[in-house]
Structure 1
Amino acid sequence: MSGLQFAVKDNLDVQGLPTTAACPAFAYAATAHAAVVHKLLKAGASLLGKTNLDQFACGLNGTRSPFGAVPNAFDPAYVSGGSSSGSAYVVATGQVDFALGTDTAGSGRVPAGLNNIVGIKPSKGLISSRGLVPAAQSVDCVSIFARTVGTAARVLEAAMGYDALDPYSRDLVLARTAFPARFRFGVPSELVFFGDAAAEVAFQQAMQRLVEMGGTPVSIDYAPLAAAAALLYDSALVAERYAAVRGFFDAHADQVMEPVRSILAAGQGYSAADVFDAQARLRAYGQQAAAMWAGRSAIDLLLVPTAPTHYTIAQMQADPVVLNRNLGAYTNFVNLLDYAAISVPSSIRPDGLPFGITLIGPCGSDWQLAELGQRYHHASGMLQGAVDLPLPAPQSIPGLQPQAVARVAVVGAHLSGMPLNSQLTERQATLLASTLTAPDYQLFALPGTVPPKPGLLRVAPGLGRQIVVEVWEMPLAHYGSFVALIPAPLGIGTLALADGSTVQGFICEPQALQGATDISHFGGWRAYMASGSHAG
């Protein structure tokens, strides 16, 4: 962390500075650092200052502050997203390397998506919330903004850890292996973009990019997630927001700006019985939603737009409740249902505004989400934030164990689209490259094989040709079962490639080639099969 500079959302304590939560009448002088601030300073990071926010972290748009609306880093006429608006802005504009926000209903993700930066919303309790002015204490999370996943992951590693003085801290064990190379990602069966065609197109492009990275989209029932999300403000659960500042609010409600005042006041009218009823309903929705993570059709992660649309500041101020709710269409349920999430940049829309996606996983999937999020971010070709710098080289993700892998070159029926290719994909293998062998091989069509298969033979220099092969990579744990499927006279040996490297690959016993047809002049099995010669 040494050399990194950061900022802190002004609902987290910094010793010697006032904590305002964007409400001057509420402000108090902090006598100690919030636990997470203390850990980051101890790790060597330098604190530059504090940032503006939606008052009492109640909002997703960045306009609900007496200190002024925070503009979007790409177009000041548009909202920055909130409530961690200032933290996202100073990261996107390059003023700091990273910043701390908070996330109760999406405040660590929406500003990231609207400002072309990364936002990590960790598993609940992974980072201590001691020293945070709570919004809804049981679901609050300290979040991390950075311009790259690598930096955000380093910050998470330094910030995380059990804190016995935080009643909601947990000693979590995080998954230490990456998502499988062939992963399944859920997509809501019904998607709304509130008439924003640019956002809808951008999300379709994001889905296609994940497919190209090895993902298979799976339609999931979004109804229980949406129902859980609605409970945050439309049930007795909103009473927790009132409880967070009850003493101050009861005495100084007139010092709280609208619509924050009305939201907090709504929490005053519920009974304890109402809260238990809402909690039971939330658990029921959680049980329904849990089905998407289980069984043979289980998904590895969920993909949603970070925000389904983008509004101007003027639009938001004219209709602050409805438009704010729209920005949270895909965020509110995450903490309520105990999931982890990461928002990563995806594209720049034709109107010049950023579009981001959020990857969501079960509690404890933080490193897995970071690893996939980093690969996605680099595959997007995006620049960093609003500073127009290229992404640096990917960094190793802390906490993930490198996966042992095997590489194998295939030449015939295991090629992409060929009959036996599923033997590779079922073992989570991924295609690394289509390339050529060294010019020392002959290729033969083996008679009587079903499906048709070739045999590859290495010959003396000057007598062979270059043959097209595909190089695949699979987890080493699955390699043995793959090799066991290879029938004689085929086997696995060492192949020389055109670039001078070697790889394990399919070879054939020489005696099996007596009477086989030499098809080397086709240059590869796919060209031979396309020629129709095998039919004769």
Structure 2
Amino acid sequence: MTLPNMLQITPLLSACRAGTLTPTDIVREVAARVEAYAAKDPAVWISRVPMERLLARAAELEKLPADDLPLYGIPFAVKDNIDVAGLPTTAACPAFAYEPRESAEVIKRLEAAGAIVIGKTNLDQFATGLVGMRSPYGQPHCVFNPDYVSGGSSSGSAVAVAAGLVSFSLGTDTAGSGRVPAAFNNIVGLKPSRGVLSTYGLVPACESLDCISVFAGSAADAWEVEQVAGAPDARAPFSRTLSPRSLPLTTFRFAVLPEDERFFDGNEANAALYAQAIKRLEQLGGTPVELDFAPLKETAALLYSGPFVVERLAAIKDFYHSHRKDMDPTVGTILDGAANYTATDVFDGIYRQHALQQIAQRMWDDFDVMLLPTAPRIVTKQEVIEQPIAANSLLGAYTNFVNLLDMAACAVPAGFAPDGLPFGVTFVSPAFTDEDLASLAGRFHKALGEAIGAARIEKPEAPAGQAASSSSGRVLLAVVGAHLQGFPLHWQLEKENAVLRETTLTAPDYRLFALPDATPPKPGLVRERGFVGAGLEVEVYELDAAGFGRFVASVPQPMSIGRITLANGKEVCGFLCSEAVARSGTDITATGGWRSYMQKK
């Protein structure tokens, strides 16, 4: 199977479970892509897992059942201030580098779920900055224009996803570092509630505020990663258990900046895109409410223009005092500012932070979620060279307050300006609403209808000498519900020129359930070993590999593509469903299939 340009989790996982793709296939393709992309941007990676280790990891996974691992074979990148055993941790400062004895807790959890670490990515040194320009390992650039910054501090992590090199990546987010690079590279950046992802094994920036964040092609992928990686950890001093809180998702109120307070630093195109984003969210059921941004702006100033800079110094104080000359000049200057504050100033700042938290908490009485620009505009590398502090401050205008006020956030793409540069918005909500936040942000992103990351400007072509309709690498796919002929989703098969090969039955040990609240109505197929039924009607279609890959990419959770056994004993690809979700519906096995069930309704 040919890998799609953007390596989203669902199609890769489904292909692995269907047996049309292996972890070895994935790591070989990813390694080739990483090498090829280095010619465009050599600053994305600081270190990479050697090929022999990647192949050994893939071989290890191939001994395990793919169905049991939620991230089986999924490649990911790690910001180089998070420990990965076997690779140095540099925090983008060679003099600081060390060899960790063990991986960070989040890495252990992701690897246990089947994910594959590809390497460590570049960052603003000690995660101090939003520009992606403060590293001796080079400066990654925006995937759409090399004259513009990638955003930071999680610069390499965002580019690795946007360029289609990995399925997801880990960044960190203290002041917006998991959101600004997402906006500048047309991907999703999910900043979990503080403490939900363990920071054990993370080089701290501001330990009381730091969050490990997730970059991905979709909010659903990012949430899947958060679910796998998140867990309480007594070794992380600010660890917390995710105690889920809900958001209204059908009709809801969302806070927006008043028109006279929308700051885009003169970029009229971004102002128009923000107005369009508001209208789009209204179409999804939202009612806009004007936001008083003043308390949030005051909170943001505490982080860099106030006493909280002292916590940045506390994180690396011994190294700072012995190696100040080895630090990036701008990062060093920021930490030098800590000397201007006393312990009394720090406590005054903490008291003001808590007073502002009280004000912010009352805001949620007026709306359910905020919709803000992720950044006023993207800046050029030259602007950062000329004004490193001012350019950085501009990028944090709408991000710095979020962790200080204990909120969750999800940055998603929101369109492109006429100059071809991306714009993004961020959904902000109360702590512990992470799942519903990702769901709402994902609905907005899907409604945008844009390709993800650099795929927006890429035009993949069939290999030389091979037509798209080539008979090589064709796949048989069994459909059991809404994709049957005459049903609402059959057009997706027609779009891929799928050919009906036979109408037949499954093996007798399958059950079929009508899923609750599915739109359009659809069933879930589950195999129950030991059950003996009459089999269920399926239609078996033939698609070429590329068409199959595109089709699989459209399959939403809780569905996946796996192997289905037919009545004649033959195995083909087919729709499977999470058993827990399926069994929450109505058992319709006795009807013999979805067509018969719908005809009798």
Fold shared, TM-score > 0.5 on shorter chain: yes
Q: Which residue is 1:362 aligned to? A: 430
| Counterpart contact for 1:342–1:359, Cα < 8 Å | yes
Q: Alpha carbons of 1:253 and 1:309: their partners in 2 closer, same or farther (altered >3 Å)? A: same
Q: Alpha carbons of 1:314 and 1:164: their partners in 2 closer, same or farther (altered >3 Å)? A: same
**Residue 121 of structure 1 is aligned with which of 188, 191, 194?**
191
Q: Does residue 1:186 correspond to 2:255, yes or no?
A: yes
Q: Alpha carbons of 1:114 and 1:161: their partners in 2 closer, same or farther (altered >3 Å)? A: same
Q: Which residue is 1:431 aligned to? A: none
**Residue 254 of structure 1 is aligned with which of 325, 332, 349?**
325
Taking the aligned partners of 2:155 and 2:516, their CA distance within structure 1 comes to: 38
Q: Alpha carbons of 1:406 and 1:42: their partners in 2 closer, same or farther (altered >3 Å)? A: closer
Taking the TM superposition and a 5 Å limit, the aligned residue runs for 1:38-437 are 38-175=108-245, 177-189=246-258, 190-294=261-365, 298-388=366-456
What is the DSSP-based 3-state SS (H/G/I as helix, E as strand, rest coil) of the residue aligned with 1:218?
strand
Taking the aligned partners of 1:502 and 1:359, their CA distance within structure 2 comes to: 44
Structure 2 letter corresponding to 1:3: G
| Counterpart contact for 1:306–1:358, Cα < 8 Å | yes
- CA offsets, 1:479-517, max 9 Å, x none? xxxxxxxxxxxxxxxxxxxxx9999xxxxxxxxxxxxxx
Give the deviation of 1:269 after TM superposition. Answer: 3.2
| Counterpart contact for 1:7–1:87, Cα < 8 Å | yes
Taking the aligned partners of 1:324 and 1:213, their CA distance within structure 2 comes to: 33
| Counterpart contact for 1:342–1:358, Cα < 8 Å | yes
Structure 2 letter corresponding to 1:265: D
The number of aligned residues is: 397
Q: Alpha carbons of 1:15 and 1:220: their partners in 2 closer, same or farther (altered >3 Å)? A: same
Taking the aligned partners of 2:424 and 2:90, their CA distance within structure 1 comes to: 30
TM-score normalised by L of structure 1: 0.72
Q: Which residue is 2:3 aligned to? A: none
| Counterpart contact for 2:270–2:377, Cα < 8 Å | yes
Q: Which residue is 2:39 aligned to? A: none
What is the DSSP-based 3-state SS (H/G/I as helix, E as strand, rest coil) of the residue aligned with 1:136?
coil
- CA offsets, 1:88-116, max 9 Å, x none? 00000000000000000000000001100
What is the DSSP-based 3-state SS (H/G/I as helix, E as strand, rest coil) of the residue aligned with 1:64?
coil
Larger Rg: 1
| Counterpart contact for 1:224–1:286, Cα < 8 Å | no
Give the deviation of 1:291 after TM superposition. Answer: 2.0
Taking the aligned partners of 1:204 and 1:225, their CA distance within structure 2 comes to: 21
Q: Alpha carbons of 1:35 and 1:300: their partners in 2 closer, same or farther (altered >3 Å)? A: same
Give the deviation of 1:180 after TM superposition. Answer: 3.5
| Counterpart contact for 2:247–2:436, Cα < 8 Å | yes
Q: Which residue is 1:30 aligned to? A: 100
Structure 1 letter corresponding to 2:396: G
Taking the aligned partners of 1:214 and 1:501, their CA distance within structure 2 comes to: 33
Q: Alpha carbons of 1:181 and 1:405: their partners in 2 closer, same or farther (altered >3 Å)? A: farther
Unaligned 5+ runs, structure 1: 394-401, 408-499, 504-536
| Counterpart contact for 2:247–2:433, Cα < 8 Å | no
Taking the aligned partners of 1:251 and 1:166, their CA distance within structure 2 comes to: 26
Taking the aligned partners of 2:342 and 2:416, their CA distance within structure 1 comes to: 46
Structure 2 letter corresponding to 1:192: F
Q: Which residue is 1:16 aligned to? A: 86
What is the DSSP-based 3-state SS (H/G/I as helix, E as strand, rest coil) of the residue aligned with 1:79?
coil
Give the deviation of 1:370 after TM superposition. Answer: 0.6
Give the deviation of 1:178 after TM superposition. Answer: 4.9
Q: Alpha carbons of 1:403 and 1:268: their partners in 2 closer, same or farther (altered >3 Å)? A: farther
What is the DSSP-based 3-state SS (H/G/I as helix, E as strand, rest coil) of the residue aligned with 1:28?
coil
What is the DSSP-based 3-state SS (H/G/I as helix, E as strand, rest coil) of the residue aligned with 1:18?
coil
What is the DSSP-based 3-state SS (H/G/I as helix, E as strand, rest coil) of the residue aligned with 1:259?
helix
CA RMSD of aligned residues (A): 2.0
Structure 2 letter corresponding to 1:305: P
Taking the aligned partners of 2:267 and 2:175, their CA distance within structure 1 comes to: 22
Q: Alpha carbons of 1:218 and 1:264: their partners in 2 closer, same or farther (altered >3 Å)? A: same
- CA offsets, 1:6-36, max 9 Å, x none? 0100000011211110011111111110111
Taking the aligned partners of 2:195 and 2:85, their CA distance within structure 1 comes to: 23
Taking the aligned partners of 1:502 and 1:301, their CA distance within structure 2 comes to: 43
Runs of 4+ with >4 A deviation: 402-407, 500-503
- CA offsets, 1:388-427, max 9 Å, x none? 489xx9xxxxxxxx996999xxxxxxxxxxxxxxxxxxxx
What is the DSSP-based 3-state SS (H/G/I as helix, E as strand, rest coil) of the residue aligned with 2:213?
strand
| Counterpart contact for 2:375–2:398, Cα < 8 Å | yes
Taking the aligned partners of 2:210 and 2:79, their CA distance within structure 1 comes to: 14
Give the deviation of 1:349 after TM superposition. Answer: 1.4
- CA offsets, 1:350-376, max 9 Å, x none? 111111110000001100111111111
Unaligned 5+ runs, structure 2: 1-70, 460-488, 490-514, 521-597
Give the deviation of 1:188 after TM superposition. Answer: 2.4
Q: Alpha carbons of 1:348 and 1:253: their partners in 2 closer, same or farther (altered >3 Å)? A: same
TM-score normalised by L of structure 2: 0.64
Q: Alpha carbons of 1:379 and 1:406: their partners in 2 closer, same or farther (altered >3 Å)? A: closer
